[in-house]
Each structure stands twice: as C-alpha cells, then as structure tokens.
Amino acid sequence: MTVPRSTLRLQFHRGFTFDDAARRVECFAALGISHLYASPITTAEPGSMHGYDAVDYTQVSAEYGGEAGLKRLVDALRAHDMGLIVDIVPNHMGVGGSSNAWWLDILEWGRHSTYARHFDVDWHSPDPALRGKVLLPTLGASYGEELAAGRIGLHFAPDGGRFYIGYGPHVFPVCPVDYAAILQGADRADLSALAHRFQGLTTQPADQPRAAEARDALREFVEREGESAIEFVLQTYAPEDPLTRDRLHRLIERQHFRLAWWRTASDEVNWRRFFDISTLAAVRVERPEVFEAVHALIFRLYREGLVDGLRIDHIDGLAEPREYCQRLRQRLSELRDTAPYVVVEKILGRGEPLHDDWPVDGTTGYDFMNDVGALLHDPAGAEPLARTWAEITGRSASFADEARAARRKILAENLSAELDRAARALHRIARDSLSTRDFTYTTLRRVLVELVVHFPVYRMYPQNGLRSAADNVYFEQALDGARASLPRSDHAALERVNAWLGGSTEDAPPARPGAQSQQAQGGAPPPHAGSSRRSAQTLFSQLSAPLAAKAIEDTACYRYGRLLSRNEVGSDPGEFALSVEQFHAGNLERAQRFPHAMLTTATHDHKRGEDVRARLAVLSEIADEWGATLRAWSTLNAPQRRAPDGTPISSVSQDKSDAWAPGPAAEAMLYQTLVGCWPPALRADDEAGVNELAERVAQWQLKALREAKLQTSWLAPDEAYEAGCREFLFGILAPQRRDGFLKELSAFVERIGRAGALNSLQQTVLRLASPGIPDLYQGTELWDFSLVDPDNRRPVDFATREMWLPQTQTPPSEFLADWRNGRVKLAVIQRVLALRAHLPELLSQGTYLPLTVRGVHASSVIAFARRHGNAWAVVIASRLATGLLGSDTDLPLVEPAQWADTAIEMPPDLSARALFDWLSPAAPKVDDHGLLCLRDALAAMPVAVLMEDGVPRS
C-alpha cells in the first residue's frame, strides 16, 4: 500500500484548475508533502466551487482541465515522487440544474427509466399525486402562481429533438408518450405525420429505442424545415392564454414529475436527499450496477496509476457502509497489485469506535481535530463561561438542551418527509402481525421522533438485522431518553420498535400471504419480514445521520455560544476540554487500530480556521475577564443596536429578550468571532483593512443567523432583521469608533494574541508528530483566520509561500520574533515534515510513549516520545500557558526561568544523552536522574521536537 507521509488538501474549481496546481507542485514538494488530496474531480454542476454536486460520474471535470489536465498534474507529481488522493462522493448527485443525464432520464421515463433504481426514489408514495412521480420542489412560488405568470412553459430542444418543460434554467423532459398529442395539436399535416411515429408508445424499456428513432426523425424535420415549424406546436401550449395554459397544465400533470414550490420539499419530497438539500439526490450505491456506474471512472484512473488513494465522502449516508467499504476494497485490490489508501469521512462521538470490519485506513481526521482542539481548553473555564453565556443571553447553559430543541425543530421543519418515510416503514411491519397491527402510524411516528431526538451519535450499523454491542451502547441511551419523554401508553410500541430496529429477532411477523416483490419498481416494501426490518433499519439510520448533522452542526452550534472554539464539525460543544491523559489515550488507540488515519485541524467544512479556534481557546484561561469584557462591550455598543425591523433605536430594555438586532446571543457570538478572526497585524486605524474584515464577518454573520433558525432562517428569511444585524456590525466597526470599540477590540486581541499563537504551534506540532498521517488544508501553512465557507475557500497566496520556503536550513525559532506574519508556523510544518521524510518509519510506525511531566507547571506541558528501533523523537509543547507569558517580551514563549523545576521524566534509553531540537538551535541534555528540564528544552520555542541526531544538512 502507498501510505502517504503527509497530504495537502486542494479545492478545485474553474478558478483553480489542475494546471494551476501543477505549477505549484515544486512548492508542495519543498514543503514536504507526499500526496495531494484533491476535492472531487468528476463533473459537477457548472460553476460549482466545491465539486460535491456531481452530475456525471464518468467524466473528469472539464472546468478543472479534464482528464488531460489531470494527467499533466499527475506527471508533475510523479516527477517529485508524489502521489494523488481524490475525494469521491458515492452518496449523492447534483440535480439542481439541467446537466444530470441520469436524473433527466427518470424525469422522462419515470419508474421505467434505465436509472430509476439508481436514485432512492419512493415510487409508491402514499400521496396519490406522487405515485409514480418525482417531486420537483424547484419553483420560487406556488405552482399556480408561477404557471399563471408564464414562468413555466413548453419548449423544444432542436439538437436532441426533445420537448421539455422549462422553468428558468431548469429543464424537465416531457415523456415521448405525449409527443403524439403535442404534435397533433398544431393541426398540420406534416406534424401529424411525425406524430404517427410516436403513436402507441409506452414507457416500457422495449419501447424506448423506438422513441429515440422517432425523436431523430423529429430533429431532422426541424433541421430541414426550421424551428418556426415547431412554434405552431408550442403556441398551442402557451401559458399566456387561459385555454392553452390549461392544456399546458394537463400536459405537466401527465409527466413523471410534479412541479412544486420549493417550500414543499421538507414535507413532501419522495426521494432521499443529501441532508435537507433539494438539489442533491441520494444515490443507491448499495445496488451492484449503481456501484459500478458510480465508480467506473475512478476505477479506471486507479488501474492506470493516476490515483493512489480515495477519500469517501459522507460514508454515513450509505445504506450499508460496511458492505460498501468491503466491496470497494475488493474491487480496488483487483485492479492493482498495491493496496489502495482509503479513508472515510466519519463523525465519531466520544468513545465511538470506527468499526474494525470496515477495511479502511481510518477517518479523515475530525476525531483528531476534536481531541487536539479540546486539549487547548482549560477545564476551569467551562463553568464560568457557561454561566456568563446564560446570564447574558437568557438561553440554557447546557449544550444538550440546545441540541434536543434543534433536533425537534429540524425534524418538524426540515426532515419531516424523511421522518414520515421511516415511520411508514415501521407501520408496514406493525401491520404484518396480529399482535402489533393496532399500533397506529401516529404512535409509531411519535416513538420514532423520540428515538432519533435522543440518539447520541450519527447512526447504528446492524448486521444481519441485529445491532451489535457497540450499537447498543448508543441505542440504549436513545431508549432511555425516549422512555422518559413518551407517555407510558407508548412504551409497548417503543419496545416493539426497539426489536424491529435490530434489538431482537423474536416475534418476527411472517411474510404476508401472496406478497410479491415490487423491488424492481424501486423502493417498494420488501417481500418478507427480515427485509422489512432491514429496510426500516436503513431508513432509521438515513434519518438519524442527517438529523445529527443538521441539528448539531448546522443549528445548535450556531445557537450555543459558551465558547465558539468548541463549536466545530466533529466536536461536541458540551465537551469543553480534554486532559493530557485523555489525549494520549486517543493517540494510543489510533496507533493501535488505525495508524494511517488522517490527522487534520482544518478542512473545507470547518466553521472557524484552526488559528481562530486556537486563539479563542485562550478565553477558557481568562473566563472571568472575558465575561466582564463581553458585558462592557455590550454596554459600549448599545447605541448601535437596531429594532427588529432594522431601524435605529436609542435604548433597549434589559429584559434579556431578543427584541432588538442582533439580540444578546448573536451579539455575544459576534464579539467572539471578531476576537477570533482579527488579523494579527491589523490596526484599529486601518480603515480599509477593518472594512475588509467587516465584509467577511458580515458574510459569516448572515449564515450564522440563518443557520440558527431563531430570528431568521433560510426557509423564511427576515431581511429587515438581517439588515439590522449588518448595520450593527458595521456600526461598531465604523471608522469613527477607532478610539472606542475598535481600539478596545484590537487591544484585547493583542492581549491574547501571543497565547493564541502558542496554542496554534502546539496543535500544529501535535498534528505533525502524532500517530497518523498529517493533513494540511490549502493555505493553512500560514495563520488561518478564516471563517465558515465560502470564507475558508478563498484563493491562496501561493506566491508568498513559495518565496518563504527555500530557507530550509533556517530553524523555525529564527522566525518567532516576527510571529505575526505566520512564517514561524510554515517553518515548523516544513521542518517536521522533513523529519518524516528523513526517518519515515519513526513517525509513521513508531511506538507512542506518553511522558510524565513533574514540577510546579506540569499541567502546562504535554510531552510524548516516538520510537522505532534505535531512533527516538521527543515531542514537547507548552499548553494553557497564558498565565506564564510575561509582559517583558512580545514573543509567544514562556521565559525559561518561569518553568522553574518543571521537567519531563525521560525514557531510560535517553538518560544522560544530548538531544538536538529540530525547531531551534537548542541541545538540551537529560540529566543523570533521567529528567529533561523545560527551561532548557523550551528556551527558544514554545514547542520542540528532540532527536539524538541534528537536522540533516544538504
């Protein structure tokens, strides 16, 4: 297997192509990267900036440079002995435009489409208006309103000889079965002759080739006679006239889709989406033919040696993640002799293991990002910060309260259709048994709501219809919560649902007499009890996973503001801090179970850049001071508040209500955001720089307010309130306040900036030296003060990085004095990656040994050793050091004398040996008692990587 030493994540789009990346390969190699890690490379919706809305799995994106451009990039990588890992998206495709041929085919032919079973469509909806149809919630207003306004019309595509319903940029194919009636409506002999070719067509697959031939004849006719001939046909369906508009409506009603207002999606959509996004349709990759179609290009690229590994997006969206990983590994192993490197995007709860029977190399690193982030926080700050948050905002001090409320809201308003589908699956099981047939749909839905509301992780993974012991750890928590929430009259139904969802195989109902499998029509109820239960289990998992994502990451994390550095993808904001011992335990487990898992601290999905989080973590060490600062700033900026309608107000009552913009919670989170992302070199009197920052924060603020779904939302935006919030932001950052709030803000950032930089260097070294494969996100080689997307996907200044990289022999400590420009971080990354190249087995396979620290400031240090054979590396980092940073220096460094008697108990093999620091000129010596004094080890840098050998000289 080609295991990376290190990876660099790049986001490709039409503004940053394969050729753009190829021109930077030498820079990446100089940094020490072994593999580029690319965002999805298949063809996405035109103009996509992320690639997760694939419309064609079979083609490399032409916008990125096509397959030829990809090969040029790989050639450049191979010239530097580098490889390529690509992100693949097997769970969903983009269906929001007119570029997805698979989707258009099912709109045209319905359940008899070649691709009807490629998508997770419920063709047997209980709604008669949707049976055999696909709901298309794309209209900007109600169907009747849009039809009457003439915004929906019949059109003809001459290049394909196709009629389609058009709405803005959207294309909805008309079924060829209706072509005969359409052409005859013009009452012209030549068109009637063409209509005859379509007479008697059905949607059956056997008739579809004849339809294609008839369309070719129609296309040739239009080419010969001109498009004006077809205008006669279109006029008979013109939406402007009531008579022809009614004919258009009746034509639309006969199609295999139902056009609807976008607001109907949450309640009525009859196909599985990615989360609640109605422009992304889920793919049934568990079907063998779909699996092969989805992966055909990637398999070929892997076989040809262009691709070395895969990152699997949203593994929890798949029906059977275990089986998917096993099938993927088997197919890849058949294509090349070397085993592929495969990691999965998986959000793990605290204590939740990645399953050993998934043949993958680990996760993409959210679990490590959570651990190293929590390590930066002082547990003593948890209670006072929570108390301050509750007092200022009137909201709960507990994240769990916000999470449960958010789950209920998302179920009711965003995932109601998905909830109904899962409840119907349970209801079908109940109806199959005499003992349970009186459990009503409403009762089962109520039970299901409580189970998923209290389910503590993304999903379960039953095998052969039964939950594992690992699954039951979390399912029992959901059961306990449901029992406490449900009336006793529902407990009997709850216990049966528990059994059906994998708790037991007892009392399984027999198959219904005469039941026939309708699976061939796509999504029909399974034919026997075991299949019915497995279907219900899958639907439960495909409900609990998006609910967790939408309710926790995309709602509660925007409502709860104890400390925003813990509100991150893959983290539990209710878990405030992690001890050194807990961090070591996580590293030891990873070293044993998944030694090649990715280690990341920044991703394309992060809500705040890694250095924003590192700086905000400092507030946990000065919780009382921060609470006083919040109150002072709120009082200072009260004149800038706006009424809920956005108009200025002079004073506001102190009743803790949100009857003003932005409101106490949003205001408190705004101050944290400003503190976190304020650039180190920005001055309060830099009007242009402050305005640029304000624009970035305003973009974050709008997203945060809508994601919180309190005063405004994506579904029902309150534009007046949003405008008031924006005015408040720009008001407090206005140039005339450079001697007021702006001065205080910049001074506070200066006050904690050094400690934030120290935290950043700590998490950087831990990522580079812990068991696993360090992953860098584009641009984070320097300070990363980005906010949530699209801010974290801004263009990267590669030129500066290229200019600073050549000085490989200059120790990072030489750049500490100018730490604000971020060059010290770049140097640390380059130097430790050089160590990974110099002694690759040491940090990739070496034993992980936690080291004990003793002395007065032992709690402010983390240390461990890596050993492989006779080679050793000792990694040391300052932590929770705000109180140790003196005022006599501007450096993010604890003065050596401050460490006093603090020392590390070194392994016996290193006793009385001189060690060399790869990050500074220091050469501390282990004394005769086996102790390494921190005043020696961290004299020049807040972090150290000690070796018996010095840095190799070129």
User: How, if at all, do strands 847-850 and 853-854 pair?
Assistant: unpaired
Distance from C-alpha of 300 to C-alpha of 319, rounded to nearest angstrom: 25
Using one digit for the tens of pLDDT, what is the confidence trace for 409-422? 999 999 999 999 99
Q: Average pLDDT per run of 10 along the chain, which is 954 residues long? A: 91 98 97 97 96 98 98 98 98 95 98 97 94 96 97 95 95 97 89 92 95 95 88 93 96 98 96 96 97 98 97 97 97 92 97 95 98 98 98 97 97 96 97 95 98 98 94 97 97 97 73 42 50 95 97 97 97 97 98 97 97 98 98 96 83 55 97 98 96 98 98 95 96 94 97 98 98 98 97 95 85 97 97 95 95 98 96 97 91 96 95 89 92 97 91 52
Amino acid at 646: G
List the helix and strand counts (H, then E) for the chain.
32, 25
Give the C-alpha separation, 128 to 148, whole Å: 24
CB-CB contact of 347 with 489 (8 Å): no
Token representation of residue 536: 């219900």
Q: How far apart (Å, rounded) are the C-alpha atoms in residues 289 and 301? A: 19
Q: Distance between CA 7 and CA 19 in Å, rounded? A: 19
Length of the chain: 954
pTM of the model: 0.94
Domains of the chain: 7-91+283-364 (3.20.20.80), 101-274 (3.30.1590.10), 398-509+524-546 (no CATH), 797-947 (no CATH)
Contact 325, 360 (CB under 8 A): yes
The letter for the amino acid at 50 is H
Tokens of 434: 């005499």
**CA 428/CA 832 separation, integer angstroms:** 58
In degrees to the nearest 10, what's the CA dihedral of 345, 347, 348, 349? Answer: 180
Max Cα distance, the chain (Å) = 106
Amino acid at 737: R
pLDDT digits (tens, 9 = 90+) for 254-288: 999 999 999 999 999 999 999 999 999 999 999 99
CB distance 600 to 775 below 8 Å: yes
Q: Is 663 left (phi over 0), alpha (psi -120 to 50) or beta?
A: left
Rounded to whole angstroms, the Cα distance separating 164 from 176 reads 10
Question: What is the rounded CA–CA span in Å between residue 128 and residue 908?
Answer: 76
- Bridge partners, residue 16, by sequence: 13
SS3 434: coil
Residue 514 is predicted with a pLDDT of 44
Burial class for 104, CB neighbours closer than 10 Å (0-12, 13-18, 19+): buried
Contacts of 530 by beta carbon, 8 Å cutoff, 6+ apart:
465, 508
